[in-house]
Amino acid sequence: MDIILKSTFVDPCLLCIFDLGVFTTYNYTMNPKVLLTSKEIDIILHRLACQLIENHLDFSNTVLIGLQPRGVFVTQRIAQLLTDCYGVKDLKIGSLDTTFFSDDFRRKGSPLQANKTLIDFIVEDKNVVFIDDVLYTGRSVRAALTAIQSFGRPSSIEFLTFIDRRFSRHLPIMPNYKGRKVDAIADERVEVRWRENQGEDIVYLVK
Amino acid sequence: MSELSVSHLLGIKDLTPKDISFIFDTADHFKEVINRPIKKVPSLRDITIANLFFENSTRTRLSFELAQKRLSADVVNFSAASSSVKKGETLVDTVNNILAMKVDMVVMRHPLAGAGVYLSKKVDSVIINAGDGAHEHPTQALLDSYSIRQELGEVAGKKVVIVGDILHSRVALSNIYALQKMGAEVKVCGPKTLIPKYIESLGVSVELNLEKALKWCDVANMLRVQNERMDISYFPSTREYVDQYQLNAGVLQKIDKEILIMHPGPINRGVEITSEIADSSNAIILDQVENGVAVRMAVMYLLASKIK
């Protein structure tokens, strides 16, 4: 058994009341390894949406901000669930690119190409929720914490990550909401694919 | 594209169309940055840039300086009027003295063509040409093409006429290179005495009649008559130049179509263009100035990535 998944087919509304202690282990011999299927991804997204509702109720003073490039897909998906399944109205969502705030500019391998930042609302005194697909070193979250200051002073900032790669942090950053914890070694990569840009919802562990 | 093909910006001639597109795409993001409540990013916080202006400039120097500050670079300014150049110091000595103070990038304007190329071979620093004599003014051409792309969607396939003093203009030469590399068709228009003799060899056509040139084009870029560079009289009188080559309501009425009007500044109001037209909705002169900061931020950001 490569994937140990507890509570996979439980009603998503129930999931939000548990802090899920689940995490995924895997067999190194197969490559790439499927960590999460489309169905499992859907359940986790529902749980994350419910957890957000628990803390933010009607979202009147909350904005969701997807971190470019890949956090925007999770953000759109969660926003869609909140709106369509849980009746949240006038949800404000944006995207934030952190390329120009990165601490590895001029270091080997850092990308120069930026992505679109779209924040057409005021974040001053708002509760901001950053959303990303994989939390790894924590450096892009650090950059996002600086970048968001260009748009005002939020009342609070929380962080939601779909995949939390534990034991790989370079900075003291912890997510407030996490979809799935994954323990992987440094030369492995967690690849989250979304149907919007890659045709299917699936999470792989690639060696 | 992951980086520029060049390590200095000495002229548009050295850039590839991919480089130009990469600069434009990056400038799009910086344009969004400079419209934020806080218009600053920390990318170049560990870079020091010297602005060396051996020739007068207002908007280019301000635009570069603002772009540098928006990128969080440290900036030192130098103008020839108050320097040791007056005491006989050579260009290379001046620059090497400045570089000895740990400067990473030099933005230079110089009255002599080729000064940037010369300096790039003599000193160990990233050089950005902010205008060298009547040779090139690459960032102006980039911001002009960028403004056309912003207004008309793309540069490729557009017809652009450059009107006025082509002979003394570094803006004209850089614009010709940039526009052609991006796929535009270019015509030059002006008195025969102000059109260089072999300009057709660059692949541009010449039109001496302003009305015909305007009927042909989608964009008219009006250049300033550079009296300061004219050692002889190239046309009989300003009044005659105005009569033949001024962009005014009368000539625009005759062509009966909407065209985009650009001017690199500073404007000689009432000479190459009337105030009425310069301030009209078809003129994007102030948009060019705004785009200048974003384009210069993109150029310096992309070149700074090459500093080890």
| Residue contact A114–B37, C-beta within 8 A | no
Q: Which residues from chain B sit within 8 angstroms of residue A115, using beta carbons?
A: 29
In this prediction, residues B123-136 reach a mean pLDDT of 92
The band of B82, judged by pLDDT with boundaries at 50, 70 and 90, is low
User: In angstroms, what CA-CA distances link B285 with B164, B175, B265?
Assistant: 16, 15, 8
Q: Is the pLDDT of residue B98 over 90?
A: no
Q: Is B18 on the interface with A (CB under 8 A)?
A: no
Three-state SS for A143?
Answer: helix
How high does pLDDT run on average in chain B?
Answer: 91
In this prediction, residues A101-128 reach a mean pLDDT of 87
Lowest mean pLDDT among B79-88, B165-174, B195-204: B79-88
Q: Is A139 on the interface with B (CB under 8 A)?
A: no
Lowest mean pLDDT among A32-36, A52-56, B259-263: A32-36
pLDDT at A7: 39
Burial classification of residue B109, based on how many CB atoms lie within 10 Å of its CB (0-12 exposed, 13-18 middle, 19 or more buried): buried
In this prediction, residues B56-70 reach a mean pLDDT of 93
Bigger pLDDT: B193 or A1? B193
pLDDT at B217: 95
pLDDT at B86: 66
Q: Is B53 on the interface with A (CB under 8 A)?
A: no
Each residue's pLDDT tens digit, B248-259: 999 999 998 899
Three-state SS for B110?
Answer: strand
Of the candidates B241, B262, B252, the one whose C-alpha atom is nearest the C-alpha of residue B148 is B262
Taking the C-alpha atoms of residue B101 and residue B116, their distance in angstroms, rounded to an integer, is: 20
**Partner residues linked to B283 by β-bridges:** B261
Close Cβ partners of B64 (under 8 Å, ≥ 6 residues apart) = B51, B107, B128, B130, B139, B296
C-beta separation of A25 from A196 below 8 A? no
Strand residue runs (E) in B156-198: 159-163, 185-189
β A127-135/A62-67 pair status? parallel
Cα angle value B205/B211/B215 (rounded, 5°): 70
Where do we find the tokens 């002006």?
B190
Q: Is the pLDDT of residue A19 over 60?
A: no
C-beta separation of B108 from B179 below 8 A? no
Each residue's pLDDT tens digit, B181-232: 999 999 999 999 999 999 999 999 999 999 999 999 999 999 988 776 666 6
Taking the C-alpha atoms of residue B295 and residue B301, their distance in angstroms, rounded to an integer, is: 10
Alpha-carbon gap: B31 to the closest alpha carbon of chain A (Å): 11
User: Which structural domains are found in chain A, ordered by start?
Assistant: 12-206 (3.40.50.2020)
Q: Is B285 on the interface with A (CB under 8 A)?
A: no
Q: Is the pLDDT of residue A18 over 50?
A: no
Q: In what order do the strands lie in the sheet with A92-96?
A: A23-24, A177-182, A156-165, A127-135, A62-67, A92-96
Where do we find the tokens 């509760």?
A127
Taking the C-alpha atoms of residue B208 and residue B85, their distance in angstroms, rounded to an integer, is: 41
Q: What is the ipTM of this complex?
A: 0.81
Q: Which residue of A has its CA nearest to B70?
A: A100
Say what the alpha-carbon torsion angle A121, A125, A126, A132 is, to the nearest 10 degrees: 90
In this prediction, residues B110-136 reach a mean pLDDT of 92
Q: Is A27 on the interface with B (CB under 8 A)?
A: no
Cα angle value B58/B59/B65 (rounded, 5°): 95
Three-state SS for B242?
Answer: helix
Which sequence spans correspond to the domains of chain B? 12-136+289-304, 138-284
C-beta separation of A73 from A133 below 8 A? yes
Fold observed for domain B12-136+289-304 = Rossmann fold (3.40.50)
Could you confirm whether domain B138-284 is CATH 3.40.50.720?
A: no
